[in-house]
Amino acid sequence: MVLVYIDNSEGQIKKASYEVAGYGVALAEQMGTEAVGICVGNVANDALSTLGEYGLSKILNAQNEHLNYFDSQVHTKAVAKAVESTGAEVVVLSHNYNGKALSARLSARLKAGLVAGAVELPDTNNGFLVKKSVFSGKAFANYELKTDKKVISVNPNAFGLHKKGGTATVETFDAGISADDVKVKVLSVNKVSDTIALSDAELVVSAGRGLKGPENWGMIEELANTLGAATACSRPVSDVDWRPHHEHVGQTGITIRPNLYIAVAISGAIQHLAGVNSSKTIVVINKDAEAPFFKAADYGIVGDAFEVVPKLNEAIKAYKASA
Amino acid sequence: MKILVCVSKVPDTTTKIEFTDNQFKADNVTWIMNPTDEWYALVRAVELKEQHGGTVTIINVGGAENDQIIRKALAIGADDAVRVNAEPTDAYEVASQIASHAKEANYDMIFTGKETIDYNGFVVGGMLAELLDLPYISLASKLDSDGSKATIEREVEGGNEIIEVSGAFVVSTQKGIAEQRIPNMRGIMSARTKPLQVVEPNGEGALSTIQSYELPPQKESVKLIDAENVGELVKLLHEEAKVI
């Protein structure tokens, strides 16, 4: 059996969970077994049953007052108990913020081989091989797992959303967590609520120091808004606080894999590329034709961002209006 | 405050990645301390020691050639170091060796960087926490402690969480928690004589093996579009790339 971890926050299922549900279902089909979800947190049964659309037949729902916030130690115990009670051979999670912490802990607890950041479904024809990105996107490694139990965390946007139709039954699951298990206290959660989370975004518009100042970000936000994209920035921009740190993509910021990455006035230093080079399509807009980013781009426009970006925004609006 | 900082050795960011016979080609590679281990984990640990007193111990799992980066960590301000003399093949092997040492030494805090830039797993900190049955706070961008209670800011999707933890814990660190420090001459001199203990591995093996490597397909050269004709880009994104 394949057990899929349904990540959630404040009662809401995260988008990444729908992606891993589809991945878990596809893997289970390959293995000739079934895929079941485990949700640890505070999500209503009705919301969980929608995961059936992605092919999960059953969801175990572990709810109690000690599980409202993500705590890797407590959630590991809860998921390990679900592994034990279902006899799952493979646990699938998203390689997102929570998934990174949880997959590592589960691997150590279950003595299960781990592939952290899978980019494809496992090859189960001859053993169990899982491909993962290494050396900051400059190569791939095929990991072989021989342990009885296995843990796979899947890179966000690597598999995509695959609806199959159906409904899932939801069962209450007693994770056996009491107040004594909880060692950390969440004092506050601070989120920018009305924007698309960068790590989940399929489309991203990003800009660099070439924009000269934070007051010039209006056109970037407008373009992102027209596309339904998230906004991002390069390191120098977040270093001088023109943009918040959570928008910083690159080696020291976050790594993203959107379908479309539009880089405006970013030269494309190797440290920046490390965070974005797994994007499916890269568009570079830069007035310097020699900018190294053009070598990593699929499409490029050599031109002044202040002229090109508003025009591109209008062109996309026109395309959307006609579509 | 008794702090352990886990440091890893990685190829420099600008390294050209090549493989021969499915092994990473290590000739002509410049090896460095993993950036987030050095800039964030180590520097914040040293700052906490400077504020509150205590010790900072470095741990690395690797061969004698790693002593060079261990000495650099000592030059930046750590007090002593442990090197587990093993050639680990996966993250579990690393975490297990560090856990064996940490179990006996009773650290108040264990720091790691957020990820290594070679295998990009974000894994060792979480595994270590599980093996030691400690809380694990990942991707910390701020950390303060009075010795018994720590307040940590960690990144989550589209924002952050403020977390309080009492007692020992493991934390992975990222940008925001500290600023890179360049070791000064006094640090470099004193690092030569600071204790570096070499211990033998616990015999625990890896849980995974790398069977082969691949390089990404060669990127086709960029299609340039005239700045006066952005409509062409929109068309290509829709019809050719199929991303909008």
Domain ranges of chain B: 2-216
Closest CA to A74 of A197, A168, A182: A182
Cβ distance A108 to B244 less than 8 Å, yes or no, reads no
Query: DSSP of A64-76, one letter per residue?
Result: -TT-SS--HHHHH
Q: What is the CATH number of the domain that holds A151?
A: 3.40.50.620
Q: How far apart are CA B33 and CA B10, in angstroms?
A: 6
Query: Is the Cβ–Cβ distance between A103 and A15 less than 8 Å?
Result: no
| Structural domain of A256 | 198-322
Write down which residue in A156, A181, A206 finishes a domain: A181
A143 & A12 share domain: yes
**B157/A200 Cβ within 8 A:** yes
Q: Which residue of A has its CA nearest to B11?
A: A135
Beta bridge partners of A203: A260
Closest CA to B114 of B168, B73, B62, B171: B171
Nearest to A140 among B95, B213, B223 (CB): B213
Q: pLDDT tens across B50-109, in order? A: 999 999 999 999 999 999 999 999 999 999 999 999 999 999 999 999 999 999 999 999
Helix (H) / strand (E) containing A275? helix A270-276
Q: Are residues A275 and A138 in the same domain?
A: no
Do B6 and B37 form a contact (C-beta atoms < 8 A)?
yes
Which amino acid is present at A64? N
Find the closest chain A residue to B214 by CA distance. A140
**Any idea which fold B2-216 has?**
Rossmann fold (3.40.50)
Q: How far is A52 from chain B (nearest CA, A)?
A: 25
Residue B177: closest CA among B82, B48, B22, B74? B48
The terminus-to-terminus CA distance of chain B in angstroms comes to 53
Chain B: give the shortest CA distance to residue A37, in Å. 21
Do residues B80 and B193 lie in contact, with contact meaning Cβ atoms separated by under 8 Å? no
Last residue of a domain, one of A120, A146, A181: A181
Picking from B17, B18, B212, B222 by the largest number of A CB atoms within 10 A of its own CB, the best residue to mutate is: B222
Question: Per the domain annotation, does A186 fall within a domain?
Answer: no
Q: Do A104 and B209 touch (CB under 8 A)?
A: no
Compare CB distances from A199 to B125, B157, B241 and report the shortest one's residue: B157
Average pLDDT, chain B: 96
> What letter represents residue B201's amino acid?
P
**C-alpha dist (Å) from residue B173 to A119, A120, B1, B7, B136:** 25, 28, 18, 12, 11
Structure tokens at A257: 């894999």
Which position has the token pair 């912490």? A101
Judge if A264 and A148 occupy the same domain: no
**Which among B18, B38, B120, B141 is the top mutation candidate for probing chain A, defined by the most A β-carbons within 10 Å of its own β-carbon?**
B120
Q: Which amino acid is at B232?
A: E
Place of tokens 């050795």: B9
Closest by CA to A178, choosing from A62, A61, A10, A65, is A65
pLDDT of B218 strictly over 80: yes
Shared domain for A20 and A100, answered yes or no, is: yes
Q: Give me the CATH number covering residue A307.
A: 3.40.50.1220
The pLDDT tens digits of the residues spanning B154-212 come to 988 878 999 999 999 999 999 999 999 999 999 999 999 999 999 999 999 999 999 99
* A149 in the same domain as A101: yes
Residue B34, pLDDT above cutoff 80: yes
pLDDT tens for B125-139 read 999 999 999 999 999
Same domain, A243 and A170: no
Chain B residues within 8 A of A276 when measuring between CB atoms: none
Is the Cβ pair B130, A76 closer than 8 Å? Answer: yes
Q: Which amino acid is at A203?
A: L
Under a CB-based contact definition with an 8 Å cutoff, are residues B143 and B44 in contact?
yes
Contact call for A134 and B213, based on CB within 8 A: yes
Distance from CA of B181 to the nearest CA of A (A): 16
ipTM field: 0.96
- Supply the pLDDT for residue B157: 85
Q: Cβ contacts (< 8 Å) between A200 and chain B: which residues?
A: 157
Beta strands B31-33 and B23-24, pairing class: unpaired
CB-based contact B135 A136, cutoff 8 Å: no
Q: What is the pLDDT of residues A197-207, one digit of tens each?
A: 888 899 999 99
Task: Measure the CA angle with vertex A252, ends A76 and A13; round to 5°.
Answer: 40
Q: What's the pLDDT band for B217 if we cut at 50, 70, 90? A: confident
Report the pLDDT value the prediction gives residue A323, as an integer from 0 to 100: 80
Q: What whole-number distance in Å separates Cα of residue B223 and Cα of residue B229?
A: 13
How many CB atoms sit inside 10 A of residue A188's CB?
Answer: 9
Residue A97, min C-alpha distance to chain B (Å): 6
Instruction: List the single residue in B with minimal CA-CA distance to A297.
Output: B222
The encoded tokens of residue B206 equal: 């890896």
Rounded to a whole number of angstroms, the distance from the CA of A62 to the nearest CA of chain B is 20
Please tell me which of the candidates B118, B139, B230 has its beta carbon nearest to residue A312: B230
Residues of chain A predicted below pLDDT 50 = none
Q: Are residues A14 and A125 in the same domain?
A: yes
From A121, A150, A181, give the residue that closes a domain.
A181
pLDDT of residue B158: 79
Cα atoms found within 13 Å of the Cα of residue A88, Cβ hemisphere only: 30
Residue A7: φ, ψ to 5°:
-75, 145
* The pLDDT of residue A63: 94
Residue B232 and residue B244: Cα distance in Å, rounded? Answer: 13
Contacts with A71 (C-beta within 8 Å, 6 or more apart), sequence order: A182, A183, A184, A186, B135
The reply to whether A168 and A268 lie within a common domain is: no
* Chains A & B: contacts with CB separation below 8 Å: 274
CA of A70 to nearest chain B CA: how many angstroms apart? 10
Q: How many domains does chain A have?
A: 2
Q: Is residue A187 part of a domain?
A: no
Chain-chain contact of B161 with A136 (C-beta, under 8 angstroms):
no
- Burial call B10-28: b when 16+ CB within 10 Å, e when fewer: bbebebebeeeeeebeeee
At A180, the amino acid letter reads: D
* Test mutation, A5, A17, A97, chain B, max B CBs within 10 A: A97
What is the DSSP code (8-state) at residue A309? H
For A299, other C-beta atoms within 10 Å of its C-beta total: 22
Q: Mark out the alpha helices in chain A (DSSP H runs).
A: 15-31, 45-49, 72-86, 97-110, 218-227, 235-239, 270-276, 293-296, 305-322
Which H or E run includes A171?
A: strand A169-172
The answer to whether the CB of B52 falls within 8 A of the CB of B147 is: yes
Q: Which of B118, B225, B236 sits opposite A135 (nearest CB)?
A: B118
Q: How many CB atoms lie within 10 A of CB A221?
A: 14
Q: Which tokens go with B108?
A: 């108040």
Most B CBs within 10 A among A246, A278, A308, hence the mutation to make, goes to: A246
Contact B175 A253 (CB under 8 A): yes
